[in-house]
Structures are given as structure tokens and as C-alpha cells.
Amino acid sequence: MTLTAPAPPDTAAHTPHRPPGRRAWRTLSPYTYIAPFFVLFAAFGLFPLIYTAFISLYRIELQTPGDMQWRGLDNYTAIFADPFFWTALRNTFTLGVLSTVPQLLIALGIAHLLNYKLRGRTFFRTMMLMPYATSVAAATLVFAQLFGHDFGLINYVIGVVGAGPVDWQTGTLASQVAISCIVVWRWTGYNALI
């Protein structure tokens, strides 16, 4: 006598039937959630970029902006021949190096120190964000007093040492150093905490 188990009932995996509208919503709903980003990106990111590229091929007078004259790539050849462009490019590069390199080196050092178990570590971390939280107008007033030509604190200290005053506002390298000091002061603490 052999015993055989009864065969299992033949039931295919039955999925509940969903109406077509619900299935379409399930497929399309992720796109509706990210659609606002793409609409805003197209309006405020992509359109200005394409419009600027389009406008750069025309000559436009500011007094008559509707009167556009086709120049093609002549605008680009003219800008590369302009010495002011190369001066602006050099100044931008110098400011970038003078601001970024010291800022990141100091921020790494501060971040390393704040990583230790120090007493009052939270206080010091909060103090690192104070320059970032200071308004730009207040920082400008303070640094204008520090870097003033006649009565600035930094020129006073330089005068005590015996050197002549530095013209921080009209000298090219001096003004770049002054701007870099402001940028380093403002962003070093923020970068240290990141």
C-alpha cells in the first residue's frame, strides 16, 4: 500500500485587479512629486542660461534694448582681445587663491581642534558660526574701520612697527588681501563645522 499525498490545488498567484486609473497614478505619481523642481529649475536655471548664450551672440545697446544686431562669435573674439578681460580674469583667480587656500587650511586646523573632547566644545562650535551669522553690512562697517587708510587699526599697527600706511582701497594686491581677509573671517568657521 502506497500513500500518495494529494496534489496541491492548482491556484495561480492571483493578484488583485486594480483599475487602470489607479495603476497609471501609481506609475506617474513619482513624477508629479519631482515636477516642481524641474519646473523651477527650467524657469530659474535653464532658461537664463540659454537666454544668456543667445544674447551673447548679439550687440545690444542699453539705451535701446530692443534693437539687437547679430554679431555671432565676434563678441567672443573681441572679449579675448580686450585687456580688461584678462585683468578681470587675473583678479578673479588671485582672489580665489587668496581666499580659498588659507580659509580651507585654517578651517581644517580648527575642525581638528574641535574634534577633541574639549571643555566648552559646544560653545566654541557656536562661536565658529558667529561671523557667518553676522550681517554683511555690519561686517563691512567693521572691516572698513580696520582697513581705513588714515585711521584704520591695521595701518596704525603697521605705523607702530615703523612701516608706512598701506592704501588698502586703491592698491591692487592690498585690496585683494583686504577682501580675502573678510572672506576668510566670514567662512572659515562655517567650513570648519562642515
Instruction: Give one DSSP letter per residue of 79-135, joined into a string.
Output: HHH-HHHHHHHHHHHHHHHHHHHHHHHHHHHHHHHHTS--TTHHHHHHHHTHHHHS-
What are the tens digits of pLDDT across the range 112-144?
988 888 788 888 888 888 888 888 889 889 999
For residue 147, give the DSSP letter.
T
Class of domain 83-193: mainly alpha
What are the tens digits of pLDDT across the range 23-57?
888 888 899 999 999 999 999 999 999 999 999 99
List, by residue range, all CATH 1.10.3720.10 domains of the chain: 83-193
Q: Is the pTM of this model over 0.85?
A: no
